[in-house]
Amino acid sequence: MTTPAAFVAVGSELLRTQRTDTNSLLAARLLRGRGFHLVEKRCVEDDEQAIAVAVRELAARAGLVLVSGGLGPTADDVTREGVARALGLGVHRYPPLEEALTARYRALGREVPPFALKMADVLEGAEILPNPRGTAPGQLVRAGQCTVVLLPGVPVEFETILSRHLVPRWPVQEGAVCVLRLSGVYESMVEARVAPLYERFGRQHVTILAGRGLVDLVLEAEGEGAEQRLEEMRAAFAAAAGADLYGYDDTTLAAAVAAQLRRRRWRLAVAESCTGGLLGGRLTSEPGASEVFVGGVVAYSNALKERLLQVPAAILAEHGAVSGPAAEAMALGALRLGAECGVAVTGVAGPGGGSEAKPVGTVHIAAVTPNCRRHRAFTFPGDRTAVREWATNLALDLVRRVVEEG
Amino acid sequence: MTTPAAFVAVGSELLRTQRTDTNSLLAARLLRGRGFHLVEKRCVEDDEQAIAVAVRELAARAGLVLVSGGLGPTADDVTREGVARALGLGVHRYPPLEEALTARYRALGREVPPFALKMADVLEGAEILPNPRGTAPGQLVRAGQCTVVLLPGVPVEFETILSRHLVPRWPVQEGAVCVLRLSGVYESMVEARVAPLYERFGRQHVTILAGRGLVDLVLEAEGEGAEQRLEEMRAAFAAAAGADLYGYDDTTLAAAVAAQLRRRRWRLAVAESCTGGLLGGRLTSEPGASEVFVGGVVAYSNALKERLLQVPAAILAEHGAVSGPAAEAMALGALRLGAECGVAVTGVAGPGGGSEAKPVGTVHIAAVTPNCRRHRAFTFPGDRTAVREWATNLALDLVRRVVEEG
C-alpha cells in the first residue's frame, strides 16, 4: 500500500495570472515508486492564514505534505509563518543559517538587508535541507503521522532538494508504472482495442491519455509481485497497440523518429507550409538531431514552394497548394535537399482560408524515401493551434512508419 | 470589494500523470473584472469523498466554487454525487435531459448505454446550464452564501458554458487589470526601472512575470475610481518600459512583429539553425501570417546554409557556423528569398557541441532590412529547451526593433 501525499504551491501569481505550477508534476513523478501517491494538489495565495488552512487540512488526511514557494526574502514570503501557525510551532532565527546568509551577501559585496534575514528562520524541531542552488533551505517537520516539507518554489532549487535530500531517504517500493506511447491513432480506436484486457488486469490500473494524434497508455501495478504483473501488462498492451506503438515512458515521438533514421543511417529534410516550422522545431528538440536532420524549407508562400522545392507551377495551378500532389512534390523537393527521406505538410490551419472543398482543418502530409511515396489526407478538428499540432504529430508519425518499412 | 472564488479540477489523471489543468486559467481570466478573485485552486481524484471534502471546505470560505470535470458517463465520473454529498442534496434523473440524451445517441444510430443515463442526473434545486458543445450540461446550485457550479472538464465545453451562461449574469465590476508586455529584457532590469513607481501606486498592485527574454507587468486597480487609476498606472509604467514595450494584454510578441511588418508593408523571411523551425512556428501561430511572412529555411546543416542561403563557404570556414558573420550572411540569404526583412538565428543549444570559445548557450541573431543590418550575440542560460526559447524570443524582439526603426 502506498501513502497518500499532498502538494501545496504557494503564490498569488498562480491564481491571478496565467502562470502554472510545474513543481507538482515533478513531485508526482519522483514520489511514485517511493511508496507515495499524490491525492490532492492546491495553489493558495501568499497569505499566512491561507497557507495555514491548507496545511492543516492536508496534514489531517495525508502522510506527506510538500509545500512549494514563499520561502524568499520579500514581505510576500510567509510560508514559514503559515506552516508554523498550522502546526502550532514556534519559529526562531538559526545562527548558522544567519552566518551563511551574511557570508553569501558579503561575497556579492553587500550587507544582508534586515528583512532578508527571515530566510534564516527555522520552524521549531525542523530538519534543515541544504539548498546548493539558492539561498533559502528546505525544512522538514513532523506533525503527528504526517511529514510536512517546505521547499523553495524556484524549480531548479525545488528539484535539487527533493531529489537529493528527500527522495533517497524513502525506500524504492515494489510496484511501478509503465507508459506505452502510440501515435497516429484516436483515443476511441485504442480504447476499443485494449478494452478486452481490462478484465484481466483491472480497469483501475490503466489510464488512457489522448493528445492530438497521440495516445498514452499508463499502466500501473502495486504491491507484491508488481514488477512481474507490470511486465505482463506491458506485453499484452503492446501487442494490442501493434504498429501504433512508437516507444515507452519518456520517449518522445521526435526521439523515436530520430532513432528510426539513425538505424537506417538516413537523413531527413522537411518542407512545411501550414505548420510554419513546428515540425522542424520538434525534430530538433532532442539533442543530436543534426546526425539525422539536415533542415528544410518553410514554404509559406507559393513562390518559395516553386523556388526552393521545385514544386511544378502546374501542380499548384491545377490542384492548389493544399493538395496531395503538392504535398508529394514538396516532399520530393525536401528529399532533394540532400536527404534520404523527405516529409511535407500543407494545409488550411484557419481560421480563414477554408472553402467548401477544402475546409479549415484540411491537411495533406506526404513522405518519400528511396523506396516509397506515401500520402495521407486529413480533416483535423479544432482551432489553428490544434490543427497545426495534429499536423505536426501526424507528419512525425508518417515518417516513423515509412522509415520503419524501409 | 471582490468576492473570493475557488476552483476544483476533478481528475485522477491530473494527479497521476504529467497532464495539467488549464480550465482554471480561463476561469481566473473570465471571473476577474466580474467581481471575483480566485483565492484557491485544487486538483482532486475521481473519488466521491475527495470531491465532497473539497467542495465542503471551499464552500465555507468562498462565494463561488467552480468544479470542473467528472460529469461524463463512465464509472469514474462522480462529481455530481460528490457535490451532492458535500451539500446534503439529493440527485434525481431529469426526464427532459434523458430524452435529449436518448435522441442524441439515436442520431448516431445507437441506444444509450444504461450507465450513460447518469448524465441526465441533476442535483436537487439545480439550475441547468445548456452545453451546446457536448453531452453533459453544467449545473448551478446555491449552498448558503455560496454558489457551486459544476462544469464539464473538456476545455471547449467548459469555456462555452462559462462564457455564455455564467459570466454574462455577473455585472462588470469597476476595477480592472492591464498587462504591459515587454521583450528583450531581463526581470532585474525592469524591476530597477519600475521600482520608483511602487510607492506611488502600491507594490501589491504590480506583479512582474518573467519569461525567457520576456517580462509582463500585471497592473491591477480595484474599487471606486479604479479605471482612472489603472489608466494612470498604465501610462506611468509604459513610460518606464520605453521601447521594450511591445504590446498590451493578450498581444503576443509574434502578433506585435506582424503588426509592425504590416504597417510598413514589408514581408519577413527566416533562416534558422539552432531553433530548427521554432521561429517560423511562432511567426505563423497567428492568423493572417501569410500577409507578412513568406517562409524561410531551416539550415541545420552547413550544406543547406551554403546552398539555400548562399552563405559563403569562407565565412563558415573562417568564423564557424555559430558566429556573427554567419548570422548576418544567413539573414541576407533569407532576405533574398523575396522579403524586405530577413532574420537569422545560429547557436549552440546544447547539451553537446559547446567549446571554450563558444559554450552551450552561445547564440548569434542577425536581422537585415533595406536600411539596416543588426547583429547581437548572447550567452543564454539553461538547457536546450531554454536556450532555444530565449533565442526565438530575442529573434522576434530584434525583428520588432529593426522594423520599427525602418
Indicate whether B63 pLDDT > 70. yes
Structure-block grid coordinates of residue A100: 551563511
Element (H, E) at A304: helix A302-309
pLDDT at B160: 94
- What phi-psi label fits residue A70: left (phi over 0), alpha (psi between -120 and 50 degrees) or beta? left
Q: Give the closest-approach CA distance of B50 to chain A in angstroms.
A: 9
Amino acid identity for residue B59 in this structure: A
Q: Give the closest-approach CA distance of A287 to chain B in angstroms.
A: 7
Structure-block grid coordinates of residue B392: 526565438
Integer-rounded Cα Rg, in Å, for chain B is 27
In angstroms, the CA A391 to CA A309 distance is: 20
**Cα-flanking dihedrals φ and ψ of residue A358, to 5°?**
-130, 80
Considering the entire predicted model, what is its pTM? 0.84
In angstroms, the CA A314 to CA A320 distance is: 9
| Domain limit, last residue, from A169, A191, A214 | A169
In angstroms, the CA A239 to CA A234 distance is: 9
* Look-up of cell digits 476533478: B10
Q: Do B277 and A284 touch (CB under 8 A)?
A: yes
Q: Do B304 and A283 touch (CB under 8 A)?
A: no
Q: Is B56 exposed, middle or buried (0-12, 13-18, 19+ CB in 10 A)?
A: middle
Burial A240-278 (b: 16+ CB within 10 A, else e): bbeebbbbeeeebbbbbbbbbbeeeebbbbbbbbbbbbb
Q: Do B38 and A16 touch (CB under 8 A)?
A: yes
In a shared domain, residues A140 and A7: yes
Angle at A198 (CA atoms; ends A196, A200), nearest 5 degrees: 90
- Any residues with CB less than 8 A from the CB of B184 and at least 6 apart, and which? B213, B244, B394, B397, B398, B401
In a shared domain, residues B397 and B302: yes
Peptide bond into B351 cis (omega under 30): yes
In angstroms, the CA A73 to CA A54 distance is: 22
| Domain limit, last residue, from A232, A248, A264 | A248
Whole-Å CA distances, A68 to A5, A11, A84, A150: 14, 9, 15, 6
C-beta separation of A374 from A257 below 8 A: no
Say which of B207, B277, B338 has its CB closest to residue A280: B277
In angstroms, the CA A275 to CA A356 distance is: 22
B302: which chain A residues are within 8 Å (Cβ-Cβ)? none
In angstroms, the CA B403 to CA B264 distance is: 8
Of all residues in chain A, what percent are helix, strand and coil, respectively (each to 5)?
Answer: 45, 25, 30
- Any residues with CB less than 8 A from the CB of A114 and at least 6 apart, and which? none
C-beta separation of A387 from A360 below 8 A: yes
Structure-block grid coordinates of residue B329: 550572411
**Cα-flanking dihedrals φ and ψ of residue A214, to 5°?**
-125, 145
What number of helices (H) and strands (E) belong to chain A?
14, 17
Q: Give the closest-approach CA distance of B125 to chain A in angstroms.
A: 29
Q: Give the closest-approach CA distance of B100 to chain A in angstroms.
A: 23
Quote the number of domains for chain A: 3
Question: Mapping DSSP to helix (H, G, I), strand (E, B) and coil, where does residue B378 land?
Answer: strand
In a shared domain, residues A193 and A267: no
Question: Mapping DSSP to helix (H, G, I), strand (E, B) and coil, where does residue A134 land?
Answer: coil
**Which of B124, B4, B123 is closest to B64 using CA atoms?**
B4
In a shared domain, residues A83 and A152: yes
B38: which chain A residues are within 8 Å (Cβ-Cβ)? 15-16
Structure-block grid coordinates of residue B111: 441506444
B28: which chain A residues are within 8 Å (Cβ-Cβ)? 15-18
C-beta separation of A238 from A180 below 8 A: yes
Confidence of residue B52 (pLDDT cuts 50, 70, 90): very high
A388: which chain B residues are within 8 Å (Cβ-Cβ)? 281, 284-285
In a shared domain, residues A140 and A35: yes
Peptide bond into A351 cis (omega under 30): yes
pLDDT at B175: 65
ipTM for the whole complex = 0.84
In a shared domain, residues A142 and A7: yes
pLDDT at A35: 86
* Shortest CA distance from B270: residue in chain A: A298
Q: Give the closest-approach CA distance of A321 to chain B in angstroms.
A: 13
Burial A123-142 (b: 16+ CB within 10 A, else e): beebeebebeebbbbbbbbe
Provide the residue range defining the domain that includes B184. 175-248
In a shared domain, residues A210 and A226: yes
B384: which chain A residues are within 8 Å (Cβ-Cβ)? 285, 287
Amino acid identity for residue B314 in this structure: A
CATH number at B316 reads 3.90.950.20
CB atoms within 10 A of CB B75: 11
**Which of B288, B292, B287 is closest to B270 using CA atoms?**
B292
**Which of A143, A146, A98, A137 is closest to A125 using CA atoms?**
A143
Say which of B53, B220, B287 has its CB closest to residue A352: B287
CATH number at B68 reads 3.40.980.10
pLDDT at B105: 85
Q: Give the closest-approach CA distance of B196 to chain A in angstroms.
A: 17
Structure-block grid coordinates of residue B334: 533569407
Q: Is A102 exposed, middle or buried (0-12, 13-18, 19+ CB in 10 A)?
A: middle
In a shared domain, residues A181 and A294: no
Question: Mapping DSSP to helix (H, G, I), strand (E, B) and coil, where does residue B339 land?
Answer: coil
C-beta separation of B361 from B381 below 8 A: yes
In a shared domain, residues A144 and A197: no
pLDDT at A360: 95
| Domain limit, last residue, from A145, A169, A193 | A169
Per-residue pLDDT reduced to its tens digit, B89-99: 999 999 999 99
In angstroms, the CA A78 to CA A47 distance is: 7
Beta strands A293-299 and B293-299: pairing type? antiparallel
Indicate whether B106 pLDDT > 70. yes
CATH number at A210 reads 3.30.70.2860
Mutate one of B2, B14, B18, B274 to test the A interface: name it (highest A CB count within 10 A): B18
Say which of A43, A287, A299 has its CB closest to residue B40: A43
Q: Give the closest-approach CA distance of A337 to chain B in angstroms.
A: 7
- Any residues with CB less than 8 A from the CB of B120 and at least 6 apart, and which? B93, B94, B95, B97, B98, B100, B101
pLDDT at A175: 66
Average of per-residue pLDDT across B1-12 = 92
Helices within A336-383 (DSSP H only) = none
Q: Do B295 and A300 touch (CB under 8 A)?
A: yes
How far is residue A378 CA from its own chain's centroid?
A: 26
pLDDT at B333: 97
Q: Do A16 and B37 touch (CB under 8 A)?
A: yes
Q: Is B239 exposed, middle or buried (0-12, 13-18, 19+ CB in 10 A)?
A: exposed
Say which of A16, A209, A287 has its CB closest to residue B19: A209
C-beta separation of A400 from A362 below 8 A: no
Average of per-residue pLDDT across B342-368 = 96
What percent of chain B has a predicted confidence (pLDDT) above 90? Answer: 78
Q: Do A308 and B277 touch (CB under 8 A)?
A: no
In a shared domain, residues A80 and A134: yes
pLDDT at B114: 82
More confident residue, B84 or B134: B84
Average of per-residue pLDDT across B272-291 = 96
- In sequence order, the β-bridge partners of residue A127 are A140
Q: Do B276 and A280 touch (CB under 8 A)?
A: yes
C-beta separation of B396 from B254 below 8 A: yes
In a shared domain, residues A212 and A350: no
Q: Is B230 exposed, middle or buried (0-12, 13-18, 19+ CB in 10 A)?
A: buried
Element (H, E) at B127: strand B127-129
* Shortest CA distance from A220: residue in chain B: B16
Mark the ranges of chain A whose per-residue pLDDT is less than 50. Answer: none
pLDDT at B16: 85
In a shared domain, residues A89 and A184: no
CA trace torsion A294, A298, A304, A307 (10° rounding)? 10
**Which of B64, B73, B21 is closest to B42 using CA atoms?**
B21
C-beta separation of B333 from A335 below 8 A: no
Per-chain mean pLDDT for chain B: 93
Angle at B267 (CA atoms; ends B264, B271), nearest 5 degrees: 135
Beta strands B206-210 and B245-248: pairing type? unpaired
Angle at B220 (CA atoms; ends B216, B224), nearest 5 degrees: 160
DSSP characters over B39-107 = EEEEEE-S-HHHHHHHHHHHHTT-SEEEEES--SSSTT--HHHHHHHHHT--EEE-HHHHHHHHHHHHH
Q: Do A207 and B13 touch (CB under 8 A)?
A: yes
Structure-block grid coordinates of residue B282: 511562432
